[in-house]
Chains A and B, each alone.
Chain A
Amino acid sequence: MIHIAVQKKLTAVEGEMLLDVDFTLEEGKLTTLYGESGAGKTSIFRIISGLLKADKGLITIKQKTWLDTEQKIYLKPQQRKVGLVFQEYALFPNMTVKENLFFALEKGQDKKIVDELIAIIELGNLQNRKPQHLSGGQKQRVALARAMVRKPDILLLDEPLSALDPKMRAKLQDYILEVHRQFKLTTLLISHDIGEVVKMSDCVMIIENGMITKQGNPIDIFTNQRVSGKFQFSGEIVQIQKEDVIYIVTIIIDANFVKVIAQEDEIKDLNIGDKVIVASKAFNPILYKI
């Protein structure tokens, strides 16, 4: 069990804000922090990794205390087993992919892990290239592998995919899930994409003004009315067309387009770019083996 309870006064755009969160993470689960910019998500990551000092708090990870302000325990960032991936790639430009991974090894650590990660994240063809010769998606795969080298007790992903196009994003999401499962990691993700949150997370926490206002299963959190339909996805509206007496709404779900028939009074509240839940009953879809 991982327990994080921290308080920190932050200077935000609108003045001072108190970051005050207290949550536990189940080991092996992926939890997402969802909230507006400036709500305190990245500050939570910086406090966990030791880059920002909390005013008050307690962080225990796998029975080890990383922070306890009352007992004056404060582990240095390098003593904390954290894997971090940011939106920016932050790879060493003068080193090849493999060298970047080797550089992350701890003193005396078995180098086998590097080859293992190269295999899982499919970096074999790229391992001798330098970052400048890699695409954005490839760089993020390397950054993910590098964050994993020290087998972190907690993996922190701060909007790692937001600079990538939807197709690349979907692929990278699969790599992250694969690594998360294979290494039985406890992962915290920051994401603004509801589709991504629903696909990736076991649990989501909504952060508003430094506080956790809601938490639970992503579908329950993002569905205002809990519909009994078992065929549910969340996506984004990309097109609304009028046909005859009805409307055809096109929605992108991950990288797939679906079309749903809607009525005029439903369309009134819907705009292109809106996030929606697409729901149908489990009785309607057919399965066609490919």
Chain B
Amino acid sequence: MNILKGKITAVKTNGNLSLVEIDVDNISFKTIVVETPDTASYLTKGNIVKVIFKETEVIIGKGVEHAVSMQNKIVGKILTIENGELLSKLTIDIGVGNIVSIITTNAVQELRLQVDEKITAMIKTNEIMLSE
């Protein structure tokens, strides 16, 4: 699990869903959850929460400019690449800490990803969980 701590800056609720914005040291994360401030008291502006996402949900884009629907785009630097037969594990320095991404070894080769390279880590809005 990738776990980052941040502060809730906005909560937009519609029915049972809430779109939550969290600031993690000036990096903004957006997540959609099946909770509302009524069902989860921690969904309050200003609250400190954990932002949790699975390594396998972190997409890697080469460089910094990407026109994609993904709302969570974080620029970082590859620290390590551990190549497996099918899957590879990348550790990425995003300034506020490290996150891990698991992508296919094929993808690492096709993108010719290298240590120290500047990349963009991307996570879909619905793949981020929150915890108190």
Contact = CB atoms under 8 A, between A and B. Distances in A.
29 contacts: A225-B50, A225-B131, A225-B132, A226-B40, A226-B132, A227-B129, A227-B130, A227-B131, A228-B35, A228-B129, A228-B130, A229-B129, A230-B34, A230-B35, A244-B84, A244-B87, A245-B83, A245-B84, A245-B88, A245-B102, A246-B89, A246-B102, A261-B54, A261-B56, A263-B1, A263-B100, A281-B127, A282-B34, A283-B32
Interface of A: 225-230, 244-246, 261, 263, 266, 279, 281-283
A279 B52 CA distance: 11
Given A228-B40, A263-B100, A245 B127 contact: no
A216 to B, nearest CB: 14
Contacts of B85: 244
A244, A279, A282: most-surrounded residue (chain B CB, <10 A): A244
Interface of B: 1, 32-35, 40, 42, 50, 52, 54-56, 82-89, 100, 102, 126-127, 129-132
A280 to B, nearest CB: 8
Contacts of A230: 34-35
A230 B129 CA distance: 10
A227, A281, A282: most-surrounded residue (chain B CB, <10 A): A281
A227 B52 contact: yes
Contacts of A228: 33-35, 40, 129-131
A157 to B, nearest CB: 31
Contacts of B33: 228, 281
A246 B33 CA distance: 27
B84 to A, nearest CB: 3
Nearest to A261: B56
A245 B130 contact: no
A227 B42 CA distance: 11
A245 B81 CA distance: 10
